[in-house]
Amino acid sequence: MEFFKYHALGNSYIVLRAADFPVSSDFSCGGNNALLQRICNQNVGVGSDGVLLDCTTDTDTIPQLRIFNPDGSEAEKSGNGIRIFCRYLWDQKRVADKPFYLDTKGGRVQALVFADGNQVRVEMGQVSFHSKKIPVRGAGRDVLKETIEAGDQTLVYSAATIGNPHCVIFTDNPTESLARELGPLLENHPQFPNRTNVQFVKVLNKREIQVEIWERGAGYTLASGSSSCAAAAVAHKLGYCGPDILVHLAGGDITINIAPDYSITMAGAVAHIATGEVSREWQNDKPHHMR
């Protein structure tokens, strides 16, 4: 089984081809596929923040991507994952230096690889703040500046979706420790029936924000494209920022452009780490313990 490992601002993914797996492999959503969990594990696997499964067949005219978290659950969309998959397609010479489409569970996106493969721009789709689309429990409404309990704290949050759910909290001091403390409580909060990604955001000025991220199914992460889109969209919706926003993440910067209808264009860096083969011994091994 060949693998391709990339990172986008420190957020790493492994690309695998679905055709390389046995026909009997179960990649059902939320199936907690044991092999995908193992390959993400840094101690007994290759190590990554998730798996990008290339499900494209010979009859598909548009590349087909499925995204899995390190806990085995399936994500609808990932901005960093999409950029990495686009770079993989570019490296495989399946796309060139012009815009192309690819399909994800969270919808079809258009992308462009440029700067000799080092940068990828993605039209991520339209952000919605409506509770039924995110989803968030309660009456149908735009979820903006509501209160939520996490541990012994009462927080003000807004919610959004760009194909996957996000909870955005503005703070004067977003830190990794804050994300690690409150992130898991908010990710699994009963207010979010499909769990949620969480962003802790500081507005620096009308064109820049700083974000720390707790990612659903993955935990603390250095960077996230979809989280950057959601945080920027909420900052713009609340009037804190204009439509062109530079998002500063622990792993680097992502550029976000917001159209009047809240369609988002995202651009950021991607780098190739390694290409290799997962051994047959590893595939057949069944370890007793995983961390």
Tens of pLDDT, residues 266-291: 999 999 999 999 888 887 776 654 44
Which residues neighbour 286 within 8 Å (Cβ) at sequence distance 6 or greater? none
The DSSP output letter for 259 is -
Where do the CATH 3.10.310.10 domains begin and end in the chain? 2-116+271-284, 126-269
For the segment 96-150, what is each residue's pLDDT rounded down to a tens digit? 989 999 999 999 999 999 999 999 999 999 999 999 999 999 999 999 999 999 9
* CA–CA gap between residue 4 and residue 69 (Å, rounded): 16
Token pair listed for 229: 């889109």
Predicted confidence at residue 286, as pLDDT, reads: 66
**With contact defined as beta carbons under 8 Å apart, do 201 and 174 qualify?**
yes
Interatomic CA distance for residues 76 and 147, integer angstroms: 26
Specify the pairing of strand 51-54 against strand 11-17: parallel
Strands 74-75 and 65-68: antiparallel
Query: Mean pLDDT in the chain?
Result: 93
User: Considering the entire predicted model, what is its pTM?
Assistant: 0.89
The reported pLDDT for the residue numbered 21 is 75
What's the average model confidence in pLDDT over 227-251? 98
Cα 178 versus chain centre, distance: 20
Residue 26's pLDDT is: 59
- Specify the pLDDT at position 1: 87
* Amino acid 20: pLDDT: 85
Instruction: Kindly tell me if the per-residue pLDDT of 30 is higher than 80.
Output: no
User: The dihedral of CA 260, 201, 166, 32: what is its sign?
Assistant: positive
Please give the CATH topology (third level) of the domain spanning 126-269. Answer: Diaminopimelate Epimerase; Chain A, domain 1 (3.10.310)
Higher model confidence: residue 216 or residue 32? Answer: 216
Architecture of domain 2-116+271-284: Roll (3.10)
| The pLDDT value given to residue 27 | 58
CB 234 within 8 A of CB 198: no
What pLDDT is attached to residue 31? 42
